[in-house]
């Protein structure tokens, strides 16, 4: 009985090996391209990372200020330059629509208020992509890079009296992520996940806004799940 099972497993192994050998390698010339282009789209989840002022501890206005993750989406283009077999340089200009929410508990009656800052980022990242060897129609990669963001919806210079918080438009930061490439006959399907961390202090201090007195620094943080379609 055991001998029959071993023989059956051996035959199955030979069958799948022969099938793998007959499998067509899609886009075999792609790895020799100096450059290529693509499109990207996906979802993002963003929030603020807060550093409080000393006056927040002594404040009788806010009992707590808590950032919350909120969803958004992104859409853009891609340009990829081949450096060598294992390293590419990528530029992915895109628009990112993000929503960052803050939940505030007021003193002394513990009333809760939830407000959000809506941002439309002109996102300009430059990334170094580290590729594995191609395994037939599959490849794994990691990436690391820097970014420049310009918030088209920033309200730092707004003179409206009803603004509850003001943020600056320009931000610099870094990105790190991983992804997979699946080769099809006419395109590459590439899902990717990355962490995007802003390094600039985004809060615009306005003495007429109470929240400004409680928050010293405000940094953006975003998790992006993207789909790249490359040619």
Q: Is residue 185 part of a domain?
A: yes
Q: Looking at the domain assignment, is residue 3 inside a domain?
A: no
Average pLDDT of the chain, as a whole number? 86
Residues in CB range of 84: below 8 A, 6 or more apart: none
Residue 197 structural domain: 33-230
**Prediction pTM value:** 0.82
Which pLDDT band holds residue 68 (cuts at 50, 70, 90)?
very high
Answer yes or no: is 172 within a domain.
yes
Higher-confidence position of 216 and 59? 216
Number of domains, the chain: 1
**CA dihedral of 50, 51, 56, 58, whole degrees rounded to 10:** 140
Segment among 11-25, 83-97, 151-165, 198-212 with least mean pLDDT: 11-25
* Phi and psi torsions of 15, nearest 5°: -65, -50
CATH of the domain at 196: 2.40.160.20
Write the DSSP assignment of 27-42 as a string of letters.
Answer: STTGGG-SEEEEEEEE
Q: Could you tell me if residue 25 is inside a domain?
A: no
Q: Is 4 inside a domain boundary?
A: no
Q: Establish if 12 belongs to a structural domain.
A: no
pLDDT of residue 96: 96
Within a domain: residue 19?
no
Q: How far apart are CA 11 and CA 3, in angstroms?
A: 12
Compute and round to an integer the Cα radius of gyration of the chain.
24
Residue 85 main-chain phi, psi, to 5 deg:
-60, -30
């Amino acid at each position: 009985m055991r001998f029959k099972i071993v023989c059956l497993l051996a035959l199955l192994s030979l069958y799948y090996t022969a099938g793998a050998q007959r499998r067509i390698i899609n886009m075999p010339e792609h790895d020799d391209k100096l450059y290529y282009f693509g499109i990207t789209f996906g979802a993002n989840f963003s929030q603020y990372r807060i550093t409080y002022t000393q006056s927040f501890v002594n404040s009788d206005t806010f009992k707590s200020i808590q950032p919350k993750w909120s969803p958004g989406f992104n859409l853009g283009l891609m340009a990829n330059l081949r450096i060598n077999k294992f390293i590419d340089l990528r530029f992915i200009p895109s628009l990112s629509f993000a929503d960052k929410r803050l939940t505030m508990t007021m003193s002394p009656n513990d009333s809760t208020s939830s407000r959000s800052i809506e941002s439309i980022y002109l996102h300009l990242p430059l990334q170094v992509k580290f590729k594995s060897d191609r395994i037939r129609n599959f490849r794994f990669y990691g990436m690391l890079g820097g970014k420049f963001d310009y918030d088209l919806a920033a309200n730092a210079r707004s003179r409206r009296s009803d603004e509850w918080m003001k943020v600056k438009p320009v931000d610099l930061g870094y990105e790190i992520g991983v992804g997979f490439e699946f080769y099809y006959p006419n395109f590459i399907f590439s899902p990717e996940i990355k962490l995007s961390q802003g390094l600039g202090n985004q809060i615009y201090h306005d003495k007429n806004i109470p929240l400004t007195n409680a928050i010293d620094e405000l940094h953006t943080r975003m998790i992006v799940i993207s789909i790249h379609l490359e040619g």
